[in-house]
Amino acid sequence: MLRVLLVVLALCFAAGAGAEPPVDVAPKAPAKPAAKPAAKKPTAKTAVRPTWAELTAEQQQILAPLKGDWENLERERRLKWVGIAKRYPAMKPEEQARVQRRMQAWAKLTPEQRRQARENYKNIAKVPPEKRGDLRQQWADYQSLPPQEREEMVRQEKKRR
Amino acid sequence: MNEMHFGNRIRQALNQGLRLNAKQAERLHAARERALARQRPEPVGALAWADNVLGSFGGWGGLSLRLVAPLAALVISVGVLYTWQQNRVIADFAEIDSMLLTDDLPIDAYLDRGFQNWLKTRAAEQ
């Protein structure tokens, strides 16, 4: 009996580890925007927690830019934002300012866009800093390129996929 | 009439000798087969082990304990594991999103396919 229990537990663990993350589940097929607008909009009946009122005063203050959207966020995303709010006090002042500025735009992206941004972030983070160079400078350089050159870069990238 | 008394009566009757016709013998045989089929088999393997452990808690009468307790343990374990797994995934997302939100580069840079390609091309040139 004990052995059976252990096997079942191991299987559950394996299944859990392989399962898709509940936060921003990435669609396998290319994203079809506006295919299902707000399919899982929580209703008043099934109150998703934590509600805005359940946040601490400090969390409410940090997450203030999200207040208007809070009721449309799924449980996992709310918990993720609470997690970010917990990290917030340890951030440098300029980082805190960036979080405040970017929060709303980040929450408004599609799940596919967020997934793409995270993937690109991880890819860049993999490159050793000495090879990476000054990314801000490179971003500025890239933006100063003529539009047709930038379009060419996008075209090449699309072809590669 | 209790069971022992009944058994004694049967024994006496049997000692006096039986004259059964074929039909009676057949019915008796069928009854015996049924009784044997109903006899509980000996517990084997893991069940015997569980029987030894839990037998002291009420033997076969403790069926609910033998069945319900491991099942409850399983359900609770799966629940705990699922919650733990979910929390871990959420914590991972909180971490990477914090990094993205505080990063030197604006989020647009991470969404710009052209820029990502341009970085790769530059890295390859160096």
- Return the residue in A73, A82, A88, A153 with the most chain B beta carbons within 10 A, the one to mutate for interface testing: A153
A55 shares a domain with A100: yes
Q: ipTM, 2 decimals?
A: 0.74
The answer to whether position A2 is within a domain reads: no
Give the domain-ending residue among A70, A87, A111.
A111
Which of B:37-96 have CB within 8 Å of A? 46-47, 49-50, 70, 73-74, 77-78, 81-82, 85-87, 89-96
The answer to whether position A106 is within a domain reads: yes
A96 shares a domain with A132: no
The answer to whether position A79 is within a domain reads: yes
Residue A140 pLDDT:
94
The answer to whether position A11 is within a domain reads: no
The answer to whether position A151 is within a domain reads: yes
The answer to whether position A23 is within a domain reads: no
A76 shares a domain with A106: yes
At which residue do the structure tokens 């049924």 appear? B34
Determine the distance in angstroms separating the CA of A42 from the nearest CA of chain B, rounded to an integer: 19
User: Residue A32 in contact with residue B77, Cβ under 8 Å?
Assistant: no
pLDDT confidence tier of residue A91, bands split at 50, 70 and 90 = very high
Residue A105 pLDDT:
94
Determine the distance in angstroms separating the CA of A130 from the nearest CA of chain B, rounded to an integer: 11
Q: Can you read off the two tokens belonging to residue A146?
A: 């003529």
A98 shares a domain with A133: no
**Comparing C-alpha atoms, which of A107, A94, A89 is closest to residue B107?**
A107
Higher-pLDDT residue of A99 and A41 is A99
A101 shares a domain with A66: yes
A96 shares a domain with A62: yes
Range of the domain at A142: 127-161
Could you tell me how many helices (H) and strands (E) chain B has, helices first?
6, 0
The answer to whether position A18 is within a domain reads: no
Mean pLDDT of chain A: 81
Which tens digit of pLDDT belongs to each residue from B53-74?
656 555 555 677 778 889 999 9
Phi and psi torsions of A104, nearest 5°: -65, -45
The answer to whether position A121 is within a domain reads: no
Phi and psi torsions of A150, nearest 5°: -65, -40
User: Residue A70 in contact with residue A43, Cβ under 8 Å?
Assistant: no
Amino acid at residue number A70: W
Number of structural domains found in chain A? 2
Which tens digit of pLDDT belongs to each residue from A7-66?
555 554 555 554 444 566 544 444 444 444 444 454 555 688 899 999 999 999 999 999
User: Residue A23 in contact with residue A77, Cβ under 8 Å?
Assistant: yes
Q: In this model, does residue A106 exceed pLDDT 70? A: yes
What pTM value is reported for the model? 0.63
User: Residue A62 in contact with residue A103, Cβ under 8 Å?
Assistant: no
- In SS3 terms, A71-129 reads as HHCCHHHHHHHHHHHHHHHHCCHHHHHHHHHHHHHHHHCCHHHHHHHHHHHHHHHHCCH
What are the chain A neighbours of B95 within 8 Å (beta carbons)? 83, 87
Record: contact A157-B113, CB cut-off 8 A: yes
Residue A26 pLDDT:
44
